[in-house]
Amino acid sequence: MNKKDIKLMFFLAYKNIIKSKSTFIVIVAVMAMSFLSITFFSAIIDGLSYEFEESMIDGQTGHLMIEPSNEESFIFNSDRLEKNISKIPGVIGVSSRLESNILITYKNEELGAPVFFIDPIDEQKVSNFHESLIEGSFLSYKDTSEIIIGSDLLEQYAPIDDTKKRFNLRIGDNIILTFNNGYKKEYKIKGIFKTGSKFNDDKILINKEEYFSIFNKEDISHKILVKLPSRGLEKEYIQKIEALGIIEQINPWETKIGMIKQFVGSLQITNQITGFIGLLTAFATIYIIIFINVTNKRKQIGILKAIGIKKKIILGSYIIQSFIYGFVGVIFGNIIMQILLALLASYPLSMPIGDVVPLLTIGKLLTTSFILILASIVAGFFPSRKASNDNILDAIFGG
Binding site for another protein (CB under 8 A): 2, 4, 7-8, 11, 15-16, 18-20, 299-300, 303-311, 313, 391-393, 396
Phi first, then psi: give them for residue 384, nearest 5 degrees.
Answer: -75, -35
Looking at the chain, the number of H-run helices and the number of E-run strands are 11, 14
Comparison of 139 and 319: residue with beta carbon closer to another protein: 319
Give the span between the Cα atoms of 32 and 328, in whole angstroms: 8
Q: How far is the CB of 234 from another protein (least distance, A)?
A: 59
Give the span between the Cα atoms of 208 and 119, in whole angstroms: 5
Comparison of 13 and 226: residue with beta carbon closer to another protein: 13
Comparison of 368 and 388: residue with beta carbon closer to another protein: 388
Give the span between the Cα atoms of 16 and 151, in whole angstroms: 63
Comparison of 16 and 271: residue with beta carbon closer to another protein: 16
Give the span between the Cα atoms of 19 and 24, in whole angstroms: 9
CB 217 within 8 A of CB 211: yes
Q: How far is the CB of 35 from another protein (least distance, A)?
A: 27
What is the identity of the amino acid at 24?
F
Q: How far is the CB of 331 from another protein (least distance, A)?
A: 23
Comparison of 10 and 276: residue with beta carbon closer to another protein: 10
What is the identity of the amino acid at 302?
G
- Residues near 364 by beta carbon (within 8 Å), at least 6 away in sequence: 39, 42, 43, 46
Give the span between the Cα atoms of 139 and 204, in whole angstroms: 11
Q: How far is the CB of 295 from another protein (least distance, A)?
A: 16
Alpha-carbon radius of gyration of the chain? 31
Comparison of 6 and 374: residue with beta carbon closer to another protein: 6
Comparison of 180 and 391: residue with beta carbon closer to another protein: 391
Q: How far is the CB of 311 from another protein (least distance, A)?
A: 7
Q: How far is the CB of 19 from another protein (least distance, A)?
A: 4
Q: Which of 229, 230, 212 is nearest to 221 (CA)?
A: 212
Q: How far is the CB of 310 from another protein (least distance, A)?
A: 6
